[in-house]
Structure 1
């Protein structure tokens, strides 16, 4: 049987962890002088409450190999293969920590690490695909082939409300962050070569959503696609984006999910966006 371990920095739709029997690796998040573990002792509501104080700059870290080893051992049953699906190695060191844990367990447990070269809801989508294909009787080689195809075809486009959290995390300068706030400029962030990077700056929230739709249409046209709408404490805007996407593109499946805390720590509240990939995969 295939057991799936997921990097906790990915966004997880409600109920999927239990439904598909995933094991999630908690990501350490330091706020002030205290370290929390995502999904263990901090949730989005507490996170946003704590970071209202500008002095509390959240910092994320990779989980330790020892923690990952324990999670794998608890997940494993005799004869299992464990597949770990991780956020891009260019954005996080977690995949390296999993590889270290896998090396230490290699004489007892077969652990396969897969770098999604992405983040956000991609990890959950890949993990669901892997579980369903395993249940359908596909081999691990067939499953990995499909995951690589999904990785090559997907798109992530997000719009940030402002650059305050990007400034707090050291990703942009203070002046740039201040100007986007004063001028009501909405940054557009896209996935490129395993990194989330700023691609556009537009005026107003509505235009930022239109830009997201345009970028997805530019990529897929009228091709049938599946989408995940992601947001950080802004479900109404996420639902508006879903309507705009459905009115413009050929969408066959839509799921909603809250941005994980470790992603929101760098992008901030009211971030909204989309993960999309072809239905044929």
Structure 2
């Protein structure tokens, strides 16, 4: 009989409630300062990261191979026969490839590594839906087959306060950073079908960027019923205001404010970040 485990990374912003409910294994990214290393979301908070960004910007790295190995050892001990790992976009991190390589050393656990082609709540939705399917009695192959279909129903948009940190971290993707900085543009950034950042819309100034992301959301909600998720990086008031606007749309099945983006994501997005995800309901 199949016993299916679920694995993700700390950039998923998965809630503690879901982790406990479904015994989800979460591998933390590393946040590295000159004199100390932290595990994402375990011994450092998002607020602490933002407080040090200007004076002491950290770097980030993958969960260690020993930690990934430890997860698979624990799955063996707990009697799991299968595992589904949902990872941050492979265009943003090497974690997807790292866990694929390590899983090959555990042939007794049949493992599928799913590239979310997303980040944050985009990962969480995939993991949560997989957990619900397993709970409902779906087998491994059935769950695996559904995940790409769920990907197609997820749309993510970001307002970036400054492109400085995306540039520093080499995560600009298809966003034209130098030009945007020079022209004081505040692009609305999205994630393409390959999981890479790109400029969805160009607007000038913070106020216009907030208006634009609201308009983008309204256009989506006017055509589809969606669950809406919002995260922020030092932009709580603006994000809550945006959430209230989306609640006015009758096609918003739910509007969920998730608070701070994970510390590791904050390192790369910088202050002033607002992320909005729309999950189309069938």
Taking structure 1 as the reference length, the TM-score comes to 0.87
In structure 1, the residue matched to 2:190 is 190
> Which residue in 2 is equivalent to 1:58?
58
Aligned counterparts, 1:19-168, within 5 A:
19-53=21-55, 56-76=56-76, 77-106=78-107, 108-168=108-168
Unmatched runs of 5 consecutive residues or more in structure 2: none
Q: Distance in 2 between matches of 1:79 and 1:34?
A: 35
Report the equivalent of 1:209: 210
| Structure 1 segments unaligned to the other structure (5+ residues) | none
Q: Determine the C-alpha separation between the residues in 1 that align with 2:50 and 2:192.
A: 28
Question: What residue is the counterpart of 1:3 in the other structure?
Answer: 5
Q: 1:198 to 1:263 in 2, by over 3 A?
A: farther
Verify the 8 A CA contact 1:187 1:200 in the aligned structure 2: yes
Give the CA deviation at 1:69: 1.3
Deviation at 1:169, TM superposition (A): 2.5
C-alpha contact 1:69 1:105 (8 A) present in aligned 2: no
CA contact under 8 A between 1:69 and 1:101: conserved in structure 2?
Answer: yes
The CA deviation at 1:268 is 0.7
> C-alpha distance in 2, partners of 1:212/1:252?
18
Question: How far apart are the structure 2 equivalents of 1:200 and 1:29?
Answer: 31
User: What displacement does 1:134 show?
Assistant: 0.7
Return closer, same or farther for 1:209/1:15 CA change in 2, 3 Å cut-off: farther
| 1:2–1:131 CA contact under 8 A, matched in 2 | no
User: Residues 167 and 177 from structure 1, CA distance in 2 versus in 1: closer, same or farther, beyond 3 angstroms?
Assistant: farther
Name the CA distance, whole Å, in 1 between partners of 2:57 and 2:196.
22
The question of whether the paired residues in 1 share the 8 Å contact of 2:4 and 2:80 is answered with no
Instruction: Output the CA distance in 1 between the equivalents of 2:216 and 2:75.
Output: 39
Q: TM-score, normalised by structure 2?
A: 0.87
Deviates more, 1:169-178 or 1:139-148: 169-178
Aligned residues: 274
Residues in 1 aligned to 2:23 and 2:122: alpha-carbon distance in whole angstroms: 17
Compare 114-123 and 209-218 and name the one that shifted more: 209-218
SS in 1 for 2:144: helix
Match of 2:239 in 1: 238
Deviation string 1:112-156 (CA, Å, 9 cap, x unpaired) is: 211111112111111111111111111222222321111122111
Structure 1 partner of 2:270: 268
Q: CA RMSD in A?
A: 2.3
